[in-house]
Amino acid sequence: MRFKSRLKIDEEFNLSSTADIAFLLIIFFMVTTAFGTTRGLEMTLPKKQKTQEATTTEAVLIEIHRDGSISLDGMPSSVSDIQSYLEPKLARNPNKFVLVKSDLSAKYKVLVSVIDELRQANVKNISIPTQKEIQQWGQYAGGGS
Amino acid sequence: MRFKRRGSIKATIPSSSMGDIAFLLIVFFIVTTTFSVDKSKVNLPQSLEREATVPGAAIIVIDRDGNVLLSSGDKNPEPRGIDDVTIFALNLVARAPQTQFTIKASRDVEYRYVDKVLEQLRDVNARNISLLTVQKVRASAG
């Protein structure tokens, strides 16, 4: 006996909504993604036990005053003068120490702009002594005299 | 004269590869997405020289009034006292000596607060530090 052949059914997955779901996910990721990585000035602090001494005779001293003005080795200057001041000194000694001493009441942005200028001038040895260290130096200097 | 009718042409846009492209884009976004942990709003100082900070670094936020917020990098920074930086940093450095610390200080904060934080970080031998900045636009020569 011969059976009547049934109607052929197409075997396939319905993928028409896959793209819709995928694009919904894309929109989610586009909205939540933060591509901008945070950036800043990298610093490596010296080890507490092995503090490298930068003698004041060798180092360039940059002082930041309370009002945001700066002085280079005691001479009143501006932040934009730093690179031109350091250029000949670094040419003679690329490992020149630069000591940055900021007044506690000075704004932090001035310190950052000074460090930024030093980085642009390719200063390798930047020393930013903390208030505690400055006091200790003062004691040593006072005791020595 | 009667023209012969042509067979009708089905006007369809093939969309079978749409899903593939979409999923490729999804994979790209999954790989590149970083959900920002730190949501503190601070007016950062500007600098021309900037290097990318290490993702997941511990964050020390100092707002313009000198208030300190701390985070080990996995959650939003929480308000703490400025003297708590020592114990906070010590815990992290004890576990991983090369822990990176990101200082996110307001451009208008007095240096005394940053000094105090740096002092405490030095006390616990934290060595890798970055000062978060925003890009400074170079002034044109003209």
CATH number, domain with residue B79:
3.30.420.270
Range of the domain at A140: 60-144
CA of B108, closest CA in chain A: separation in Å?
5
Q: Which of B3-17, B42-56, B95-109, B119-133 has the lowest mean pLDDT?
A: B3-17
Question: Does the residue A105 lie in any domain?
Answer: yes
Where is pLDDT greater, at A49 or B34? B34
Q: Supply the pLDDT for residue B21.
A: 83
Residue A25 has pLDDT above 80, yes or no: yes
Per the structure, the count of domains in chain B is 1
Question: Does the residue B37 lie in any domain?
Answer: no
Q: Which residues of A touch B64 (CB under 8 A)?
A: none
Q: Supply the pLDDT for residue A102.
A: 93
Give the number of A-B residue pairs with CB atoms closer than 8 Å. Answer: 159
Question: Does the residue A90 lie in any domain?
Answer: yes
The residues near B116 (Cβ < 8 Å, ≥ 6 apart) are A131, B82, B85
Q: Which residues of A touch B48 (CB under 8 A)?
A: 116, 120
Question: Does the residue B61 lie in any domain?
Answer: yes
Question: Does the residue B124 lie in any domain?
Answer: yes
Identify the closest residue of chain B to A133 by CA–CA distance.
B119
Question: Does the residue A133 lie in any domain?
Answer: yes
Question: Does the residue B93 lie in any domain?
Answer: yes
Contact state of B30 with A29 under an 8 Å Cβ cutoff: yes
Q: Supply the pLDDT for residue B41.
A: 84
Q: Supply the pLDDT for residue B31.
A: 82
Task: Give the position of tokens 């904060």.
Answer: B109
Question: Does the residue B14 lie in any domain?
Answer: no
Sort residue A136 into left (φ over 0), alpha (ψ -120 to 50) or beta: alpha
Rg (CA), chain A: 32
Where is pLDDT greater, at A40 or B139? A40
Range of the domain at B115: 46-135
Question: Does the residue A30 lie in any domain?
Answer: no
* pLDDT classification of A19: cutoffs 50, 70, 90: confident
CATH number at residue A99: 3.30.420.270
Bridge partners for A70 per DSSP: A64, A77
Per the structure, the count of domains in chain A is 1
Bridge partners for B104 per DSSP: B61
Q: Supply the pLDDT for residue B89.
A: 93
Distance separating alpha carbons of residues B56 and B69, to the nearest angstrom:
16
**DSSP H or E stretch at residue B111:** helix B111-123
B residues 30-69 lying closer than 8 A (beta carbon) to A: 30, 32-36, 45-53, 55, 62
* pLDDT classification of B142: cutoffs 50, 70, 90: very low
Question: Does the residue A53 lie in any domain?
Answer: no
What share of chain B in percent tops pLDDT 90?
39
B residues 82-101 lying closer than 8 A (beta carbon) to A: none
Where is pLDDT greater, at B120 or B19? B120
Question: Does the residue A126 lie in any domain?
Answer: yes
Question: Does the residue A41 lie in any domain?
Answer: no
- Tally of CB atoms within 10 A around B69: 18
* pLDDT classification of A145: cutoffs 50, 70, 90: very low
Question: Does the residue A52 lie in any domain?
Answer: no
